[in-house]
Copies of this chain bind each other. A is one copy, B any other.
């Protein structure tokens, strides 16, 4: 799998992590337009603060992206900001581009200042290694507790031309709307102004990264970046109607695939729970109910055991803050109705057990109180989650 035209990538070792590559470089040859969505956590990591300001100052122009794994550079005060700026400046020098056109991102432990010398020392090698085939190396060098790389691709048509959208992401723990300890970089050969990219990305993220939850935690570093090289030679995409809708669909498809891979790769996860809540008084309450289910440790441990313990699902809905009449609620798993009008049906326990033992478990809760609906994708909570997180830093 290759990156769209206009992007060269590499992944090398800087030595921040104990082993493996941990420095990723994307070079937008000839520049690109870009738009980003960042974490809503009040503690924003230094690279998040810096990249947001730089992207604004450069009016949405991006020439390079530098990503490191192993150190989040979050909650590190002025020292962290200085370190992030040094990394940005060094990349700008080496690639001969304006400093503000270098986008930086970090993932790893919070509270440690970025060892920027390690990154600046490894950067010349990262420049040497840049290639169109460097997508795989790049996608691997951003990982931390991930089981493997996450890459997705889609195509679209614009003005009769076949365009490409390709993205890669990292993230397994601390995953929650809004976004999570996740980084995603999505590239397209389309020509599009930053404003159109921003509106496409916002819609795509709402339908993908903002609809997943691994553990309810939201990181200080979450970043999704959409870059457009313009090498397709199309008339710049002016809006998301007509051919623009095809572009939006491709971006959404890539984001959805990456979000699903992140959830599937939830730390220690073995099973996906696809939650749909309908009939809520409004969308906000549907989301409250879906999130209460998707973040309940009791629901997630039962899911790990393949146990059709649906009482835990409805108990979570009951404390979610959504308003409804308990005697009207229904719940089903796949085609099997478990609860109707607030009481259990005469389903067979073996049928329920079979459906909850599958790799993907779709549940539908109907609150019968209105027209609000919401979706959330989550995973189970097992021993490996505990093992991975009891002493992540050592």
Q: 8 Å CB contacts to B: which residues of A162-194?
A: 173-174, 176
A140 to chain B, nearest CB (A): 24
Contacts of A230 in B (CB 8 A): none
Kindly state whether residue A216 has any CB partner on chain B within 8 Å: yes
**A301 and B390 form a contact (CB under 8 A):** yes
A267 to chain B, nearest CB (A): 9
Q: Interface with B: A201-209, A234-242, A381-389, which one?
A: A381-389
- The one of B76, B298, B344 in contact with A217, judged by C-beta atoms closer than 8 angstroms, is B298
Q: Please judge, given known A-B contacts A75-B326, A339-B75, A393-B309, whether A386 and B301 are in contact too, CB under 8 Å.
A: yes
**B79 and A302 form a contact (CB under 8 A):** no
Against B, the Cβ 8 Å flags (1 = close, 0 = not) of A23-61 are 000000000000000001111100000000000000000
Kindly state whether residue A311 has any CB partner on chain B within 8 Å: yes
Contacts of A77 in B (CB 8 A): 327, 341-344
Identify whether the interface residues of A are mostly helix, strand, loop, or mixed.
Answer: loop
**A304 and B386 form a contact (CB under 8 A):** yes
Contacts of A391 in B (CB 8 A): 302, 305, 307
Contacts of A80 in B (CB 8 A): 343
A69 to chain B, nearest CB (A): 15
- The one of B215, B296, B301 in contact with A298, judged by C-beta atoms closer than 8 angstroms, is B215
Contacts of A173 in B (CB 8 A): 298
Against B, the Cβ 8 Å flags (1 = close, 0 = not) of A303-330 are 0110101111011111100111011000
Q: Please judge, given known A-B contacts A302-B389, A304-B390, A319-B42, whether A75 and B297 are in contact too, CB under 8 Å.
A: no
**A295 and B216 form a contact (CB under 8 A):** yes
Contacts of A252 in B (CB 8 A): none
Interface size on A, residues (CB 8 A): 66
**B342 and A75 form a contact (CB under 8 A):** yes
A70 to chain B, nearest CB (A): 14
Against B, the Cβ 8 Å flags (1 = close, 0 = not) of A71-83 are 0101111111000
Contacts of A385 in B (CB 8 A): 297, 301, 386
**B389 and A315 form a contact (CB under 8 A):** no
Kindly state whether residue A233 has any CB partner on chain B within 8 Å: no
Q: How far is the CA of A314 from the CA of B174 in the complex (A)?
A: 13
Q: Please judge, given known A-B contacts A301-B386, A307-B394, A311-B110, whether A318 and B41 are in contact too, CB under 8 Å.
A: yes
- The one of B176, B319, B343, B382 in contact with A386, judged by C-beta atoms closer than 8 angstroms, is B382
14 residue pairs from A and B, CB less than 8 Å apart? A41-B319, A75-B326, A76-B343, A110-B312, A110-B315, A111-B344, A173-B298, A174-B315, A215-B296, A216-B295, A216-B296, A297-B389, A304-B390, A381-B386
